[in-house]
Copies of this chain bind each other. A is one copy, B any other.
């Protein structure tokens, strides 16, 4: 458990990720204590210095807690720095758990329509170009057919660009953080995707609304995008209040 598979090179990042995943995936449970640093160092075949460096990082992410003569203890998920980019990347496994995914989609539903709204007010030329450009890369039409497939990377870029354009320092933070999560949800959503055209249409509405400085349109369009995603994921999200005109967004 406290060693790397032979296939992996034993550098700092792989050890970090290995330990982090043990925690995230639940192999190490809350309040459990790890072996002491020397034992870990031996297990991973590295120096205690490096182990300490790794633990320092995980501590900063809120995964563990260290105390003299007690050792390294796993902290509760409530202490985890869930918005940390790396942490989210490592969380792809747990993302399938519905509570986690639900929290995440709720967060998006709360943040992103407002971000789109703010973007409609504040986006500058560079922001607009970024949004436009990612939108145009968002679908690949297969030649000779009418079939359309969505480009996940461009989709992520689109959402990130809008959050960036919101001009809010804190939203940008969250934006950077949910990128990894978006990657996963979009992947799941695309897999089950029934009608990419509808989703694409919503995205377009967001784009044109931002271009026309239409705040309500941007808000509505983004709601539409997210509602599509949510229904594709088969999730039930209740309780988030969207602006009243949301209904008209969906037809």
Q: Mark A96-112, 1 if CB is under 8 A from B, else 0.
A: 00011001101100110
C-alpha gap A240/B84 in the complex (Å): 25
Residue of B77, B169, B219 near A77 (CB, 8 A) is B169
The reply on A5 being an interface residue by CB < 8 A is no
Residue of B103, B106, B114, B238 near A240 (CB, 8 A) is B114
A246 to chain B: closest residue by CB: B243
**Cβ of B170 and Cβ of A83 under 8 Å apart?**
yes
Number of interface residues of A (CB under 8 A): 45
Give min CB distance, A66 to chain B, whole Å.
12
The reply on A149 being an interface residue by CB < 8 A is no
Chain A 224-244 interface residues, beta-carbon cutoff 8 Å to B:
238-244
Q: Mark A68-81, 1 if CB is under 8 A from B, else 0.
A: 00000000011001
Residue of B118, B219, B241 near A114 (CB, 8 A) is B241
C-alpha gap A238/B168 in the complex (Å): 12
Residue of B99, B169, B173, B239 near A117 (CB, 8 A) is B239
Q: Mark A171-215, 1 if CB is under 8 A from B, else 0.
A: 111100000000000000000000000000000000000000001
Residue of B99, B170, B242 near A107 (CB, 8 A) is B170
Give min CB distance, A81 to chain B, whole Å.
7
Could you give 11 example pairs across A and B, Cβ below 8 Å?
A: A53-B56, A56-B56, A77-B169, A82-B170, A106-B118, A121-B238, A174-B174, A215-B239, A216-B241, A219-B241, A243-B244
**Measuring CB to CB, which residues of chain A are less than 8 angstroms from any residue of chain B?**
52-53, 56-57, 60-61, 77-78, 81-84, 99-100, 103-104, 106-107, 110-111, 113-114, 117-118, 120-122, 168-174, 215-216, 219, 238-245
